[in-house]
Amino acid sequence: MTLQELRDDHCTPLSASHRLDDAAMAPYLQLLDGWRFEQGSIRKTYAFSNYYQTLAFVNALAWVIHHEDHHPDLLVQYNHCGVAFNTHSAGGITHNDFVCAAKADVVFAQGAAR
């Protein structure tokens, strides 16, 4: 799996049998800069200059992720946004979480919020 393949992939319905263990998550986490597994989710915090930029990122991310039908937990604050993905239907982390994490990084890199 490459970073570009993650970015190009799409979410599919997954069950508990698709849950990834720590060893299976490790290669994905190596592909994604700044993402970490913590408290049952993969997480990253994005930093911005102001609230407007933070909200612009949240709105752009919401549009992209809605099309994947895989929604993160967001912690929106003045100049940063915490993003956490897990697959509730699988009871853990799945490939879908990493697909969406890669897409979140693309939204940030494209400067949708800057």
**What per-residue confidence (pLDDT) applies to 1?**
87
Contact (CB, 8 A) for 107 and 61 = yes
CB 38 within 8 Å of CB 108: no
Q: Tell me the domains of the chain and their CATH numbers.
A: 3-9+19-109 (3.30.1360.20)
Question: How confident is the model over 11-68, as pLDDT tens digits?
Answer: 999 889 999 999 999 999 999 999 999 999 999 999 999 999 999 999 999 999 999 9
* Burial of 96: CB neighbours in 10 Å, binned 0-12, 13-18, 19+: buried
* pLDDT tens digit sequence for 85-94: 999 999 999 9
> If we measure between CA atoms, which residue out of 22, 20, 25, 34 comes closest to residue 81?
34
To 10 degrees, the CA torsion angle through 53, 111, 38, 101?
Answer: 130
**Is the confidence at residue 114, as pLDDT, over 80?**
no
